[in-house]
Amino acid sequence: MLREALVVIDVQNDFCPGGALAVADGDAILPAVNALISRFDHVALTQDWHPAGHSSFASSHAGKAPFDSVTMPYGEQTLWPDHCIQGTPGAEFHPGLVWTKAELVIRKGYRTAIDSYSAFFENDHTTPTGLAGYLRERGIEAVTLCGLATDFCVAFSALDAVAAGFKTTVALDACRGIDLGGSMSAQLEKMRQAGVTLV
């Protein structure tokens, strides 16, 4: 049988209702996420972990507003409200997330000059987080992903997981999306085309 791990993406206060970059009904996934955590022997979490003044924040670019886009050295970057700033309550895991059995927490987005959606790579698609190597050393061959947001950090993570050779599933009932300019349907189709199992 495949050695499997659950990767829970960014279930943090700032991505839930009342947070700085709230995903609609983001906290509604908690029962489904917690049920998955209880079922899996191996669990890893990601935590968006930005320094203040991060380059992906609209506030770092004069005349720009959240959800505008800018060209960075690594490509197009959507600008976001300030969110998940290191050490703030917004960056903490949602209090309803039962995450204590997690074996690993991968923090991402901590380099000021580059954003990081994927659990596996920074947005330049070449700087690794170390997650793939960790999973391989543990003998993990398959990953199931859940969390926030479906069309950004979950989708980017799923596409990178497939590219890294992991059998990849996304548990859609344990995800919610932002849907920025049709991003939900576009990313769901990208995941399907790449061979991600959507359940």
Task: Write the single-letter amino acid at 53.
Answer: G
| Catalytic residue positions, numbered | 10, 108, 153
- Range 148-174 average pLDDT: 97
How many angstroms from the chain centroid is the CA of residue 192?
18
Share of the chain above pLDDT 70, in %: 99
pLDDT at 122 over 90: yes
- In the block, residue with structure tokens 């349907």: 185
pLDDT at 28 over 90: yes
Where does residue 185 fall: left (phi above 0), alpha (psi -120 to 50 degrees), or beta otherwise?
A: alpha
Strands 104-108 and 43-48: parallel
At 2 the pLDDT is 67
Average pLDDT, the chain: 96
Task: Indicate the pLDDT class of residue 111, thresholds 50, 70 and 90.
Answer: very high
CA 65 → CA 60, 79, 94, distances in Å? 10, 7, 27
At 25 the pLDDT is 96
Helix H, strand E, coil C: the string for the chain is CCCEEEEEECCEHHHCCCCCCCCCCHHHHHHHHHHHHHHCCCEEEEEECECCCCCCEHHHCCCCCCCCEEEECCEEEECECCCCECCCHHHCECCCCCCCCCCEEEEECCCCCCCCCCCCECCCCCCECCHHHHHHHCCCCEEEEEEECHHHHHHHHHHHHHHCCCEEEEEEEEEECCCCCCHHHHHHHHHHHHCCEEC
pLDDT at 8 over 60: yes
Rg, C-alpha atoms of the chain:
16
- In the block, residue with structure tokens 């790449």: 194
pLDDT at 169 over 70: yes
pLDDT at 1 over 70: no
Render pLDDT for 51-102 as a digit per residue (tens, 0 to 9). Answer: 999 999 999 999 999 999 999 999 999 999 999 999 999 999 999 999 999 9
Task: Indicate the pLDDT class of residue 36, thresholds 50, 70 and 90.
Answer: very high
